[in-house]
Every structure is written in structure tokens, then in C-alpha cells.
Chains A and B, each alone.
Chain A
Amino acid sequence: MGLAHYHQLLEDAVFRRALLNTFLYTLLGVPAQIFLGLALALLLQRTPIARDFFRAVYFAPYVTPAVAVAWVWSWMLSPHFGLVNEVLVLLGLPPQPFLQSPSQALPTVTWVVVWQNLGFQIVLFLAGLESIPRQYYEAARIDGAEGWRLFRHITWPLLNPVLVFSAVIGTIGYLQLFTQVVNLNFTDQGGPLNSTLTLALYIYQLAFLRFQLGYAAAVTAVLFALILLVTLIQLKLLTRRVEL
């Protein structure tokens, strides 16, 4: 009892792998969805005619059940008869194992999550962009600023609250990744070779497949501490006061 579970954690290679993977998902997924979301929001802002249509198209995956979406992608990414490999072959590229490969599986799972979250990011960024007063841009243009400098000195700093919110919410989401990991590789959950295992999935396996509730609870304490710590660090580092 007591601290024994935590001693056990230190020597548990599977736990270490799950912890590492959870970090990797977050480090890949959060920047990817923020970068893509911002780029697409900026494109949408330029093209008012098509904005409502494309906003709906990009947002649609966000409302659909993650379970169903994961199965659709697992079929799309199937090594032998999947559509993605068909397209690769058509383009003269070699087919890829994707979810079957220990080195490709984690980035592939991350892609599916990014794909599903992208619309949410775009909608947030669009609202943020629309809330920036036009006068700032007009004044800067009079001072001779164009393109990249407008973005760097006006858009980016004034989007800070939305960026911080996206980073925090995104990180909390990726640290708790479960549904997509389970359903994308249902017959070997967390595999191949634990390469997609997350802390959340490890907790589930420990508690409800191996009935080690106490040990699983110790892992949840680590997960909770991680979420709390990372969120606080992000809020501290990312939040900037804007001075114009």
C-alpha cells in the first residue's frame, strides 16, 4: 500500500512508454492543429464569398462521433486495400504501412485527431481575426507596413488570447487521448508494440482489463499532475500583454 504503487511506476517500462507517447502526441498534435488552423483561417478571411461554405465543410468532422471517424480512417489507411495507399501508388509513390508500423502509427493517429479538431481551431481563429479592429491595419499600412509585417506586429500579438486558449485546450485534449487510439487499431489497442499507447489507455487497461485499480489510480495521479503542471506552465509562458 501507500507509496508502493509509485515505486512500481518507476520500474514499469510500459508506463514510461505511455508517458513518452503522450508527450509525443501533444508535441506533434497541438502545434500542427494550431498552425493548420491559423493558416486556413487566414485563407478563409481573404475569401468572403466562400467563407460560410468552407467553414461548415471544415467544421463537420468535429461534430461526428470519434469512434465512427476512427473506423473510417482505419479503413482509409488500411495497408492493402486502403484508399490512401491507392492514391500513393497512383502518384508513383510506395505504399505505406501507416497504423501497422511502430514508427508510423503514432504520427498517423495524431493526423486523424488533427483532422477532426481542425474545424474547431479554424472557427476560433476566424472569430479572433474578426475581433481585431480594422483601424490597426489601416494605420499600419499608412506607416508603410505590408504582408508579413502586418501579421507579425498586429495579427499575431492580438490573437494571443485565442492562441493561449487553443494551446491549453488542445494540450488537455491530447494528454487525455483515448477513443481514437483504441478504435484506430482495435485488435491491438495501443500497438503495434505499444507504439500508440497513451496514459489514458494504459489506465483503462490496468483498471478494467487487469483489475489493478490501485495501480491504475497511481497512473491517474501522474496524468492529473501532468495536466495541471503543463497548463500552468503554458499560461505563464504564453500569455503576453499587448502593447500597441
Chain B
Amino acid sequence: MKRQKRLGNFLALLLLALGGVVMVLPFVWMVLTSLKPFPEIFQLRFFPQEPTLDNYRQVLRETGFLRWFWNSLLVATITTLSVLFFDSLAGYTLARLRFPGKDLVFLLILSTLMVPTEMLVIPWYVISAEKGWINTYWGLLFPGLMTAFGVFLMRQFFLTLPQDLFDAARMDGLSEFGVFWRIGFPLVRPALAALGIFTFLGNWNAFLWPLIVIQTPDMRTLPVGIALFSGEAGTAWNLIMAASSLAVLPVLLVFFFFQRQIIEGVVLTGVKG
């Protein structure tokens, strides 16, 4: 019985390790290819014979990579801060205040949860063209400044807090905004962390809308820049893999530092949301 269990555990580990290789191998191959000089990528050797950083140098020199990185960082940071503030403000209002039409407002917000980005990009584009937002930071940013999902998530969390807490704070003379900002906001920190991580990742990795609204190379975000550069690079897979590495490795680095918080965030939004 015990031996059978041990054998079972060994087989489980073996399968997990095999699967793990499938998960990791693309990243390893990406980095190895990015270190090879051009002729070597067509010689079927696993490791580079003469490893070089020239591909990285070329990508950084010949493309606007650093600019794209900065654009993505700017867009993801601003949208995340905005979502955290405004979604929790709206969530708090819907959970904790009484006003006529509240249920209708909540229902309207909920009903937009299902609307796909593909459906929205056409009106976004028409608005942007009319207002002159094409190829601007504002054009990149405005669709992401608030999300229905975030409002819903924050409302659910504010609902779990005891009402007495808010009544006591009001009694002590805090303004309504003060109650939200000093009492409510700090108490929903786990939900804010989860929402923040999701919003940042979503905007950092976004492709469809930036591809549409941006027209000049200097305004591209990282995913759009990588895609268009790679499309022009043809068979220079060593350059394409260097560009991919530059996009992937910082994300992996951040992930391995904050993996506990990130994974807990997924569980929080996934299971409760």
C-alpha cells in the first residue's frame, strides 16, 4: 500500500516535470536563439557556438524599443491607478450608499461586462477620429480608465465589510469621501492588489486597440512594436527572439518576485469574482 503510494507520487512528479519542460522550453529556446549569430540559427545545434549580444544591440539601436517600453509602462501605470481609484469609488458608492436608481445603475454596469473589446473598438475609433485622439496617449488610455469588472469586484468586497464601521466613522465627523478614503479603501487592500495586477497585465499586454489607434512608430506600445518589427524582420529569427526576450524577461522577473501575490490575486478574482 505504502509502496504503491510512493510509486504513484513518483509518477506524478515525473509527469509534472515533463509538462514543466513543455512550459519552459519555448522560453529557453527563445533566449538561446537570441544569442546566436544569424547563420547559426539554421544549424541544428541547441546551444550557440559563438554566443553574442549583437542581436540585442541591433534591436535596441535600430528600433524604438526603449520608447515602446516607456509607452507601455506609462499606459499600464496610468490606467491601473485610475482603475484602482475610480472603480473602488464606484464600487463603494454602489455597496454602501443609498440613492434612487442605484440598482438600475448597477445593472447597467453589469450588463457591459459581457461586451467584447472587438465590439467596442469601432465606436472608440469613431470617437477618437472625431475628437482628434488618434495617435495620442489619451487615445491609448481612455478606454481603460474604468472597467465594469473592477466596479463589480470592488462592490462585492465593500459589501463584506460591517456597516457599523462606516456609521462610526460618519459619527466621528468624517466626510463621505473621508469615510471611503480613510476607512473603506485600506480595508479592501487584497482586492485592490488583485485588481491592480490584472489591470496592469491586461494593459501591458494589450494588442488590438493600440494596433488600431497608433499610427507612428514612436507612439507604439511594446506588443505592437514587437509585432510590426518581427513582421519586417523576415527570417532573422535571432533578432525576433532578441526582441521577444526583451519583452518577456522583465515580466518573468517581476512575476518570480511577486508570484505569491499574483497567484493569490488570480484566486481572489477567479473564485470570488
The residues of A with any CB-CB pair to B shorter than 8 Å are 40, 43-44, 46-47, 50, 54-61, 63-69, 71-73, 75-76, 78, 81, 83, 86, 115, 118-120, 123-124, 127-128, 131, 161-162, 165, 169, 172, 175-176, 178-179, 182-183, 186-187, 199-200, 203-204, 207-208, 213, 216-217, 220-221, 223-224, 227-228, 231
A152 to chain B, nearest CB (A): 18
18 contacts between A and B (CB under 8 A): A46-B8, A57-B23, A60-B27, A63-B255, A64-B205, A65-B251, A67-B247, A69-B26, A71-B241, A123-B263, A123-B266, A172-B114, A175-B116, A178-B207, A213-B122, A220-B119, A224-B115, A228-B114
Give chain B's interface residue range (CB within 8 Å of chain A). Answer: 35 or more
- Given A65-B248, A227-B116, A46 and B125 touching (CB < 8 A)? no
Flag B1-41 by CB within 8 Å of A: 1 or 0 each. Answer: 00000001100110110011011111101100100000001
Residues of A within 8 A of B212 (CB): 204, 208
Residues of A within 8 A of B180 (CB): none
- Given A71-B244, A75-B241, A162-B271, A186 and B205 touching (CB < 8 A)? no
* Contact, CB under 8 Å: B122 / A216: yes
* Contact, CB under 8 Å: B227 / A56: no
Name which of B22, B29, B212, B241 has the most chain A CB atoms within 10 A of its CB. Answer: B29
- Which of B16, B26, B27 sits near A44, CB closer than 8 Å? B16
* Contact, CB under 8 Å: B114 / A231: yes
* Contact, CB under 8 Å: B247 / A68: yes
- Given A72-B241, A124-B267, A47 and B114 touching (CB < 8 A)? no
Beta-carbon nearest neighbor of A161 in chain B: B271
* Contact, CB under 8 Å: A76 / B114: no
- Given A123-B267, A213-B126, A67 and B13 touching (CB < 8 A)? no
Beta-carbon nearest neighbor of B258 in chain A: A63
Interface residues of B in 111-155 (CB under 8 A from A): 114-119, 121-122, 125-126
* Contact, CB under 8 Å: A65 / B270: no
The residues of B with any CB-CB pair to A shorter than 8 Å are 8-9, 12-13, 15-16, 19-20, 22-27, 29-30, 33, 41-42, 44, 114-119, 121-122, 125-126, 201, 204-205, 207-208, 212, 222-224, 226-227, 230-231, 237, 240-241, 243-244, 247-248, 251-252, 255-256, 259, 262-263, 266-267, 270-271
Residues of B within 8 A of A161 (CB): 271
Looking at chain A's contact residues, is the secondary structure mostly helix, strand, loop, or mixed? helix
Number of A-B contacts (CB under 8 A): 190
User: In the complex, A169 Cα to B263 Cα: how many Å?
Assistant: 17
A66 to chain B, nearest CB (A): 6
- Which of B16, B204, B248 sits near A54, CB closer than 8 Å? B16
- Given A81-B41, A213-B122, A115 and B16 touching (CB < 8 A)? no
User: In the complex, A78 Cα to B237 Cα: how many Å?
Assistant: 10
Beta-carbon nearest neighbor of A208 in chain B: B212
Beta-carbon nearest neighbor of B232 in chain A: A186
- Given A67-B207, A231-B114, A43 and B266 touching (CB < 8 A)? no
